[in-house]
Amino acid sequence: MSEQKVADPGPLGLAGFAMTTFLLSSWNANLFNFDGKTAAGLTGAVALALFYGGIAQFAAGMWEFARKNTFGALAFTSYGAFWLSFYAIIKFNLPAAGGAVGVFLLGWTIFTLYMTVAASKTNTAIFLVFIVLTVTFIFLTIGNWNAGHATMIKWGGWLGIVTALLAWYASMAGVVNETFGRTVMPVGPRS
């Protein structure tokens, strides 16, 4: 076995994805009401979408290319680009009339569905992230289609929080297991 020249970027990519997803999903689920406003999650998500969910996750994808991990490279680079796109939609006030957000999310639903097929060959922790993320995108796509459906968006928010927690677990397992040099937090093999 050859020595890797690049440290495992997976925990970074998963952490950036998890934190950004958690904050946006908390807003979608209508959590963190301060003075009757729920913008705390959205404000944090927009800031993270540029730097942690966007740039850091995109960089993790580039490092996965260097490690010759096609799945990790495609996943992290693509979801990093998702967060950068989300940032652009919010910060540049791009028109979201009609079903524009729903169509945007539909594309990501399709991408996530086929990545879930590939994730079935990684490990159980990653596979679970992708299963729940697919369902999250389905709910958010329906919730944002045309006039929008607030209940579906709220359910999508709760599912997104579950997705974030699963991604944090996978990230923590990656860094803890690597640091300890043994399996402390199991991720479950798949074959």
pLDDT tens, residue by residue, 115-150: 999 999 999 999 999 999 999 999 999 999 877 789
Complete DSSP assignment for 56-91: IHHHHHHHHHHTT-HHHHHHHHHHHHHHHHHHHHHH
Phi and psi torsions of 182, nearest 5°: -160, 170
Higher per-residue pLDDT: 37 or 14: 14
The pLDDT, as a whole number, for residue 167 is: 98
> Does residue 127 fall inside a structural domain?
yes
Counting the structural domains of the chain, the total is 1
What is the mean pLDDT of the segment spanning 151-177?
Answer: 97
Rounded CA separation 14/154 (Å) = 23
- Whether residue 187 is contained in a domain is answered as no
| Residue 185 domain-assigned (yes or no) | no
Does residue 1 surpass a pLDDT of 70? no
* Position 184 in a domain: no
85 domain residue, yes or no: yes
Q: Is residue 179 part of a domain?
A: no
Instruction: Give just the sign of the alpha carbon dihedral 26, 106, 131, 75.
Output: negative
69-100 CB burial, b ≥16 within 10 A, e <16: beebbbbbbbbbebbbebbebbeeeeeeeebe
To the nearest 10 degrees (0 to 180), the angle between helices 70-91 and 39-50 is: 120
Burial 22-37 (b: 16+ CB within 10 A, else e): bbbbbbbbebeeeeee
16-55: pLDDT as tens digits: 999 999 999 999 998 877 766 667 778 889 999 999 999 9
Examine residue 159 and state whether it is found in any structural domain, yes or no: yes
3-state DSSP percent of the chain in helix, strand and coil, to 5: 75, 0, 25
- CA angle at residue 168 from 125 to 132, to 5 degrees? 55
Q: CA–CA separation, 138 vs 156, rounded Å?
A: 8
Mean pLDDT over all residues of the chain?
A: 92
Q: Does a structural domain hold residue 186?
A: no
User: pLDDT digit string (tens) for 40-94?
Assistant: 778 889 999 999 999 999 999 999 999 999 999 999 999 999 999 999 988 887 7
pTM of the model: 0.93
Q: Which domain holds residue 55?
A: 10-174
The pLDDT of residue 35 is: 66
